[in-house]
């Protein structure tokens, strides 16, 4: 379910409708919230979606266990630093010998096929290239077609 119900301050009717709709808006400065009601309307063969936002009363103060914006930002920054440190120690970004061998094989095929006609008449290899770094690898290519032809 998108979001988290932690920010729903009640009453129970508002919370239940928000959870059912999987989204809601809680206004700031006024004790109201909005919950969408989505339905298909129109004659058969010409249906369209209609969204009606219902205004419902909510409690003015957020629940006590909701962190302030500065607390949430600090916690997020700490979690990102911790995750970055763990991933750096694990070296999960390295491509490894199997991936390096696949890149080398692709590079050899690409260099051998440069300028040759490929796949179907009318399609020629444009440019291609590969790169390989400790943090990953990738390849790119561009194809050209003769006038009046295309990739089919």
pTM above 0.85, yes or no: no
- CA angle, 32 as apex, 26 and 36 as ends, to 5°? 65
The Cα diameter of the chain in Å comes to 70
State how far the alpha carbon of 50 is from the alpha carbons of 18, 37, 41, 44, in Å: 17, 8, 7, 15
Does 4 share its domain with 48?
Answer: yes
Does 61 share its domain with 1?
Answer: yes
With a CB cutoff of 8 Å and minimum separation 6, the contacts of 87 are 93
Rounded to an integer, what distance in angstroms lies between the CA atom of residue 73 and that of residue 76?
5
Does 6 share its domain with 47?
Answer: yes
- Tell which of 24, 45, 65 closes a domain: 65
Comparing C-alpha atoms, which of 94, 102, 98 is closest to residue 133? 94
Domain encompassing residue 61: 1-65
* Between 67 and 58, the higher pLDDT residue: 58
Does 107 share its domain with 58?
Answer: no
74 assigned to some structural domain: no
Does 4 share its domain with 44?
Answer: yes
Does 103 share its domain with 61?
Answer: no
Does 7 share its domain with 61?
Answer: yes
Does 59 share its domain with 9?
Answer: yes
72 assigned to some structural domain: no
115 assigned to some structural domain: yes
Does 5 share its domain with 58?
Answer: yes
- pLDDT tens for 47-58 read 888 999 999 999
Residue position matching structure tokens 């920010």: 7
Rounded to an integer, what distance in angstroms lies between the CA atom of residue 144 and that of residue 26?
53
Comparing C-alpha atoms, which of 21, 20, 25 is closest to residue 7? 25
Looking at residue 98, what DSSP letter applies? H
- Structure tokens that stand for 106 in this block: 């692709």
Residues 5-30: what's their mean pLDDT? 85
Res 45: pLDDT? 85
Over the Cα atoms of the chain, what is R_g?
Answer: 28
52 assigned to some structural domain: yes
Residues 89-108: what's their mean pLDDT? 75
Domain count, the chain: 2
Res 135: pLDDT? 42
| Mean pLDDT score across all residues of the chain | 73
pLDDT at 140 over 50: no
88 assigned to some structural domain: no
47 assigned to some structural domain: yes
């Amino acid at each position: 379910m998108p979001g988290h119900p932690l920010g729903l301050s009640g009453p129970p009717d508002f919370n239940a409708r928000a959870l059912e709709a999987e989204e809601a808006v809680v206004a700031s400065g006024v004790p109201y919230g909005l919950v969408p009601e989505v339905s298909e309307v129109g004659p058969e063969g010409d249906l369209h979606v209609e969204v009606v936002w219902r205004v419902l009363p909510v409690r003015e103060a957020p629940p006590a266990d909701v962190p302030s914006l500065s607390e949430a930002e600090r916690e997020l920054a700490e979690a990102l630093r911790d995750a970055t440190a763990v991933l750096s120690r694990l070296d999960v970004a390295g491509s490894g010998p199997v991936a390096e061998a696949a890149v080398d094989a692709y590079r050899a095929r690409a260099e051998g096929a440069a300028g040759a006609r490929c796949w179907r008449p009318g399609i020629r290899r444009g440019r291609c290239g590969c790169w390989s770094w400790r943090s990953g690898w990738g390849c790119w290519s561009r194809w050209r077609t003769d006038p009046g032809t295309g990739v089919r």
